[in-house]
Amino acid sequence: MSQLIKIYDENPSEKQLDKIVAILKKGGLIIYPTDTVYGLGCDITNTKAMEKVAQIKGVKLQKANFSFICYDLSNLSDYVKQIDTPTYKILKKSLPGPYTFVLPSNNNLPKAFKGKKTIGIRVPNNIIIRELVKRLGNPIVSTSIYDEDDLIEYTTDPELIFEKWQNRVDVVIDGGFGSNIPSTVIDLTEGEVVILREGLGAIDDL
C-alpha cells in the first residue's frame, strides 16, 4: 500500500528518511521533491525496480535516458570517465543546482546500463533527496513525472501527485510544492557546453 510521507526540507526527519531508504533497498519506487519538478525513481542497483520505472515511462530500460541523482561530486568517478579541469569547474560551480549534466560514462555503470556511452548526472539543491541518496549509499535513478493535462506539464502539488500515482509507487514524499520548470540539461561530453534543454538553471554563467 502506497504512503504519502511528509518531510520538511529545512529539517528532514531521520526516522522518515531511514524508512524510505529501507523501501528503496527492497526495490520500492518513490516520488520525491527536487529543486525543480518532482521525480520518480528507485535504487540504481535494483534492475527489477528500474524496469518498473521504465515500464511506467513506456520505454525499454536499455533505451531509457534516466539520470542519476548523486549526493555530491565525490562519487563522480564511479560512473563517469575522467573529465578535464574546465568541465569539473563547470560542475563545481553549478551543483548542487537545477541542472542535469550529460557526461561520458565509464565501464562501472549498473548492469542495466551497460553499453551506454553517456550518463546524466543530477545533484539537486534539495536536502531531502540528497540525504536519501547519502543514506542509501549509491545514486537514485531519476526521471521527471509528467502530467497529461494540456495546460500543466508538471504537477507540483504532492497531494495531487499521490492521488494520481498511489497505485504505481510505494512512497510519495510530500516536500512541499515543487516547481513546474524542469532542470536545464547540458551536454559536456565533448568538452564544450551544449544546451540540450533550457530549464530552471541559468545558462548565462556557463
CATH of the domain at 47: 3.90.870.10
Residue 166 burial (C-beta neighbours within 10 Å; 0-12, 13-18, 19+): middle
**How many Cβ atoms from other residues are within 10 Å of residue 184's Cβ?**
22
Count of domains for the chain: 1
Is residue 31 scored above 50 in pLDDT? yes
Q: How many CB atoms lie within 10 A of CB 48?
A: 9
Q: Is residue 7 part of a domain?
A: yes
Question: For the residues 174-194, what does the mean pLDDT come to?
Answer: 92
Closest by alpha carbon to 2, among 157, 159, 177?
Answer: 159
Tell whether 203 is covered by a domain. Answer: no
- The verdict on residue 179 lying in a domain is yes
Residue 33 forms part of a structural domain: yes
Grid cell locating 7? 518531510
Residue 178 clears pLDDT 80, i.e. is over it: yes
pLDDT of residue 62: 84
The continuous run of DSSP H or E covering 23 comes out as helix 14-25
What's the rounded mean pLDDT across residues 43-66?
Answer: 92
User: Does 93 reside within a domain?
Assistant: yes
In a domain, 112, yes or no: yes
Q: Is 205 within a domain?
A: no
In-domain check, residue 144? yes
Residues spanned by the domain of 81: 3-197
Over residues 129-172, the pLDDT tens digits come to 999 999 999 999 999 887 655 445 567 899 999 999 999 999 99
Report the alpha-carbon distance of residue 190 to residue 146 in Å, rounded. 30
Give the per-residue pLDDT at 114. Answer: 80
pLDDT digits (tens, 9 = 90+) for 64-123: 889 999 999 998 889 999 999 999 999 999 999 999 999 999 988 888 888 889 999 999
- Three cell numbers, residue 201: 538553471
Write the CA distances from 81 to 119, 122, 180, integer angstroms.
10, 16, 32
pLDDT for position 149: 52
pLDDT value at residue 186: 97
Which pLDDT belongs to residue 154? 67
pTM of the shown model: 0.93
CB-based contact 145:28 (threshold 8 Å): no
C-alpha grid cell for residue 127? 536536502
* Rg (alpha carbons) of the chain, rounded to whole number: 16
